[in-house]
Amino acid sequence: MTDPSTQYSTVFGSLHDYDKGGVEAIDDDPRNYVFSNMFEVAESAAVWEKVAVAKNMEYVLEAIRADGISPWRVTPHDEFALVMDGEVVVELIDPADQLVDPSASGSRAVEGEPAGTKMGRIVAGHGHMAMLPAGRCYRFIADSPSVILLQTIEGPDTVYRWSEICQTS
Give the model's pLDDT for residue 3.
64
In tens, the pLDDT along 5-24 reads 667 666 677 766 666 666 56
**Alpha-carbon span 92 to 73, nearest angstrom:** 10
Residues 72, 63 contacting (CB under 8 angstroms): no
The SS3 of residue 107 is: coil
The count of other CB atoms within 10 Å of the CB of residue 53 is 22
Predicted confidence (pLDDT) at residue 63 exceeds the cutoff of 80: yes
CATH topology of domain 50-158: Jelly Rolls (2.60.120)
Measuring CA to CA, which residue among 103, 163, 160 is closest to residue 135?
Answer: 103
Domain boundaries, given as residue ranges, for the chain: 50-158
Residues 76, 101 contacting (CB under 8 angstroms): yes
Give the model's pLDDT for residue 122.
97
